[in-house]
Amino acid sequence: MTDYYRNKVHYKELIATFDDILIQPGFTNFEPNEVDISTHLGSHKLNIPIVSAAMDTVTEEEMAIKMALLGGLGVLHRNCTYERQLEMVRIVKRARSFVIDDVATITPNEPIATAKYMMENYNISGIVVVDEDKKVCGIFTKRDIPFSDNDIKNGKIKNYMTKGVISIEPGASRQKALKILFESRKEKLPIIDKSGYLKGLITKKDLAPEFPLASMDNEGHLICALALSPKYPESTQAQEMLKEIDKYVDIFFIDVADFYKTADINGTNKLMDLLESNFVLGNIGTYEAAEHIITKCDFNEDKFIGLKVGMGSGSICTTSIQTGVGAPTLFATAQVADAIADYGSNISLIADGGFKNPGDLPKSLTVGADLIMSGHFFAGSTESPGYVDTIQGRKVKVYRGMGSKEARTVGYVSDRYTESSRMLPEGVSDYIPFVGDIDGVLLTLKEGLLNGMIYAGAKRITEMKKAKIGVVSYVGQRESRPHDLLSRY
């Protein structure tokens, strides 16, 4: 056992948290613009090593889309039906791509009301019209919807659609697509083969290089991640729904408070056999748990791409208080990083929860993390679910732990914690300050991470893991904060 990371935080003496340590300054022999904060989660590249948590007050489709566009990743929560999960993953996958494969279609004789419903339900602005032979015969967009409610109710698509469809052939370049869209002043370009069959759709917004750091799959779609229960569904209907969801998901995040259990491990193995996507497993908090998972569980090596660590650290989590058991994120990261290094595994390590300041990000990377996951940083943003409220003149949003009574009452995440103890909440629900768009939040986190790496003398995340740290005394912690100021007396 190397104890490389664990010795950094005096493992045998202290179960350390972020405030307990500081990174020691290092020698910097590069320019600030040379720092690279990109990372990998399996085969997926992320230009920002930041993930928004799978919580029902943090990540739904709007957050997941924005996080991916800005270079990170948003993990959709599972505190809802399979139908709602399918809706969310569809929207994320269709949000940005060079070519949309799963194109919404409608027949000419369908009522306009049906098209209007599809546009609202799928969050799209246009539908390709196909005849009974499945050949393209028109296109219907929001601009074609009549103003009269009677026309919407009784009118047919064929009477309002655009019949002369401007299209492009399969395999055409991005440059050619842009040229056709510009010359025709259209926003949507169906891909139609020589026989008239629809092969895809290109939209103007997806061709524009508006988000150069976006997290994309090989086909140009946004990377989509979804939380998943480790409990294997026994009904055929549920299994089929999961298979349908699987078509749109790149990474499933197993979502339980403590994954180091036989039932969860066995259920996950069965899920890996059922589904095609990659898996991140968690949460765990110790070297022994990581060692067991890596060496004794026979998980599919091609699908098992990451471990998520930390138990009881979140600002809305009370597991450690309610049960007396926990693994603060910094401690858990150091523990699991050692196991990954000892057994030569190439899986990624995600430090989950407990982050309060931008400086906590470089600290987590220094003890072995490849990425960080947070709900606290993003719950108060414009893109999180819920509405902005005002309390005592301050704008706020609701933020709740998935172990809170309010979240568990919904019923879909009861298996995230001990199912037989539903009367014992392991989280709280409260308000958090409204912080605006996540663009600003991510910018602050990125700058904290970049400056931390510069001061530590690390050009890349892999080099950050070689930085030295030290345990800080209570007086040292006080000195690290603003002090001896008039307003502080």
Q: How confident is the model at residue 478 (pLDDT cuts 50, 70, 90)?
A: confident
Q: Which of 154, 176, 207 is the last residue of a domain?
A: 207
232 is in which domain, residue-wise?
A: 4-96+213-488
Q: For this structure, is 224 an active site residue?
A: no
CATH code, domain carrying 143: 3.10.580.10
Query: Are 19 and 155 in a shared domain?
Result: no
CA–CA gap between residue 338 and residue 323 (Å, rounded): 26
303-322 as b/e: b if 16+ CB within 10 A:
bbbbbbbbbbbbbbbbbeeb
Q: How confident is the model at residue 484 (pLDDT cuts 50, 70, 90)?
A: confident
Residue 315: predicted pLDDT: 85
Q: How confident is the model at residue 452 (pLDDT cuts 50, 70, 90)?
A: very high
Can you tell me the mean pLDDT for 210-228?
A: 90
Query: Are 52 and 146 in a shared domain?
Result: no
Query: Are 151 and 177 in a shared domain?
Result: yes
Provide, rounded to the nearest whole percent, the portion of the chain with pLDDT above 90.
60
Query: Are 82 and 172 in a shared domain?
Result: no
Look at residue 211 and tell me whether its pLDDT is greater than 90.
no
Q: How confident is the model at residue 197 (pLDDT cuts 50, 70, 90)?
A: confident
Can you tell me the mean pLDDT for 283-306?
A: 97
Query: Are 183 and 49 in a shared domain?
Result: no
Neighbours of 226 (CB within 10 A): 27
CATH code, domain carrying 231: 3.20.20.70
Q: For this structure, is 416 an active site residue?
A: yes
Residue 286: predicted pLDDT: 95
Look at residue 414 and tell me whether its pLDDT is greater than 80.
no
CA–CA gap between residue 124 and residue 117 (Å, rounded): 10
Query: Are 342 and 393 in a shared domain?
Result: yes
State the total domains in the chain: 2
Q: Which of 207, 222, 239 is the last residue of a domain?
A: 207
Helix axes 82-95, 61-69, angle to 10 degrees: 30
Query: Are 56 and 196 in a shared domain?
Result: no
Of 317, 400, 460, 488, catalytic = 317
Query: Are 392 and 325 in a shared domain?
Result: yes
Task: Please tell me which residue, 220 or 269, carries the higher pLDDT value.
Answer: 269
**Tens digit of pLDDT for each residue in 107-122?**
999 999 898 888 888 8
Residue 417: predicted pLDDT: 74
Can you tell me the mean pLDDT for 252-262?
A: 96
Query: Are 356 and 227 in a shared domain?
Result: yes
Residue 208: predicted pLDDT: 64
What distances in angstroms separate CA 20 from CA 40, 157, 243, 456, one per listed residue? 28, 65, 44, 17
Can you tell me the mean pLDDT for 173-189?
A: 80
Of 6, 78, 94, 416, catalytic = 416
Q: Which of 145, 178, 207 is the last residue of a domain?
A: 207
The candidate with the shortest Cα–Cα distance to 349, out of 358, 357, 340, is 340
Q: How confident is the model at residue 106 (pLDDT cuts 50, 70, 90)?
A: very high
Average pLDDT over all residues of the chain:
89
Task: Please tell me which residue, 35 or 473, carries the higher pLDDT value.
Answer: 35
- DSSP helix/strand/coil, 226: strand
Q: How confident is the model at residue 420 (pLDDT cuts 50, 70, 90)?
A: low
Look at residue 321 and tell me whether its pLDDT is greater than 70.
yes
Query: Are 181 and 264 in a shared domain?
Result: no
Q: How confident is the model at residue 1 (pLDDT cuts 50, 70, 90)?
A: very low
Q: How confident is the model at residue 488 (pLDDT cuts 50, 70, 90)?
A: low
CA–CA gap between residue 251 and residue 230 (Å, rounded): 14
Query: Are 228 and 141 in a shared domain?
Result: no
Query: Are 326 and 354 in a shared domain?
Result: yes
Quick one: tokens of 86?
């399918």
CA–CA gap between residue 474 and residue 87 (Å, rounded): 49
**Tens digit of pLDDT for each residue in 427-440?**
888 899 999 999 99
CA–CA gap between residue 8 and residue 336 (Å, rounded): 13
Residue 52: predicted pLDDT: 98
Q: How confident is the model at residue 5 (pLDDT cuts 50, 70, 90)?
A: low
Residue 199: predicted pLDDT: 86
Residue 224: predicted pLDDT: 97
Identify the DSSP state of 220.
S
**Tens digit of pLDDT for each residue in 346-390?**
999 999 999 999 999 999 999 999 999 999 999 999 999 989 999
Q: How confident is the model at residue 322 (pLDDT cuts 50, 70, 90)?
A: confident
Residue 95: predicted pLDDT: 82
